[in-house]
Amino acid sequence: MAASRRCAAVPAATLALVAALLMSAPAAAEVAAAGRYPPLAPGLSFDHYKKSCPKAESIVKDFLKAAIRQNVGLAAALIRLHFHDCFVQGCDASILLDSTPTEKSEQEAGPNLTLRPAAFKAINDIRDHLEKACGRVVSCADIVALAARDSVQLGGGPAYRVPLGRRDSLKPASQDTVNGALPAPTSKVTTLLGALSKINLDATDLVALSGGHTVGIAHCSSFENRLFPTQDATMNQRFAGHLKLTCPVVGTVNTTVNDIRTPNTFDNKYYVDLLNREGLFTSDQDLFTDGRTRPIVENFARSQKAFFEQFIFSYVKMGQIQVLTGSQGQIRANCSARNAGSNDDLPWSVVESVVDAAESLVL
């Protein structure tokens, strides 16, 4: 009775206003994906496939929901794959190219040997689904970026939007380029900051992106330098004892989880690990030891919200490194191989080269 009186007392104009606001309110998914984004790279947009493949994003997500339910480690593998693609020659799916008689795959370079075959297979499977739905429209580089985004969210992390429109490279990077671009886990903050500054990433990006180690696994070889011959003084004693059970001697082939607290959940516990001196790699723990990055670690350990906001910003920024767009590169028919007949000796865009040549003549 009282409720109906209250309702009746609300003027019609107010009800109309509320109804209008409700109708114009963004969908729940959009609200969840709200956040702070870096400027978009020229040629990328959030609605790149709106007309050509409107279901692209839901096809990727539906596939991964089922695949990650079967294999939780796939999420970590895909999050890492996007990083290893972008840091080397830009986010151009060059990491996916298999070796040919004349070109060695990036996959054969040391830091890439532990990327999981399941991640490469998932990208090709997703591409096949997209081809069936829309033709050869969605690039492998965009699939890698979308798969990484969905893996973050399906693991419990934040939802966010991915700028799209990347195109695929015609060539892999050389082994030297891969080794020079991906920092070693034995690196300290000075080395890490040096490597990241070359691709326009700063200390905050470094700390946020390292938060990717909130999921996944690592082999003993990636951290045994901290156990043998002498134990790293910055490592918690109990944690070291625990690791030595998994890696009792140098050269043990075994794995352990990156985040001892919540190994399969994308959350801020990785930073809590660092506060407790339970970071796995030198490159992790030094983020807490070094005064330049320590306050950022402390902030993310205190506030998951702060971590998620910054992770979105930095991962989207990373996802736009040196992208190929427009008429550059190609859309591969098979993510593991350059399209038949495409000649990597030709310039990416003949038209652009002609324009460039004309401009240099004028100058």
Catalytic residues: 84
Phi–psi pair at 200, nearest 5 degrees = 65, 30
Report the distance separating Cα 344 and Cα 347, nearest Å: 7
Whose Cβ is closer to ligand HEM: residue 158's or residue 329's?
158
Does 226 interact with ligand HEM (rule: CB under 6 A)?
no
- Say if residues 166 and 146 touch (Cβ distance below 8 Å): no
> Going by C-beta distance under 8 Å and a sequence separation of 6 or more, which residues neighbour residue 74?
64, 67, 68, 116, 118, 119, 122, 151
Of 80, 269, 317, 338, which one interacts with ligand HEM (CB under 6 A)?
Answer: 80
Stretch that binds ligand HEM, among 29-37, 69-77, 236-244, 292-300 (CB under 6 A): 69-77
First to last CA, the chain: 83
Does 335 interact with ligand HEM (rule: CB under 6 A)?
no
Q: What share of the chain is helix, strand, coil (3-state, %, to 5)?
A: 55, 5, 45
Whose Cβ is closer to ligand HEM: residue 130's or residue 145's?
145
Listing DSSP states for 251-278 in one string gives T---EEES-SSSTTS-SSHHHHHHHTT-
Whose Cβ is closer to ligand HEM: residue 80's or residue 277's?
80
Of 76, 97, 130, 227, which one interacts with ligand HEM (CB under 6 A)?
Answer: 76
The least distance separating ligand HEM from the CB of residue 181, rounded to whole angstroms, comes to 11
Of 172, 212, 279, 319, which one interacts with ligand HEM (CB under 6 A)?
Answer: 212
Q: 229-233 contacts: CB < 8 A, separation 24 or more?
A: 232/282, 232/285
The least distance separating ligand HEM from the CB of residue 170, rounded to whole angstroms, comes to 25
Does 43 interact with ligand HEM (rule: CB under 6 A)?
no
Whose Cβ is closer to ligand HEM: residue 35's or residue 73's?
73
106 marked as binding residue: yes
94 marked as binding residue: yes
- Say if residues 147 and 126 touch (Cβ distance below 8 Å): yes
Whose Cβ is closer to ligand HEM: residue 211's or residue 329's?
211
Phi–psi pair at 351, nearest 5 degrees = -60, -50
For residue 109 the two structure tokens come to 């370079």
356 marked as binding residue: no
Does 183 interact with ligand HEM (rule: CB under 6 A)?
yes
Of 90, 157, 172, 216, which one interacts with ligand HEM (CB under 6 A)?
Answer: 216
Residue ranges in contact with ligand HEM by CB under 6 A: 73, 76-77, 79-80, 83, 114, 116, 183-185, 187, 192, 209-210, 212-213, 215-219, 222, 258, 281, 283
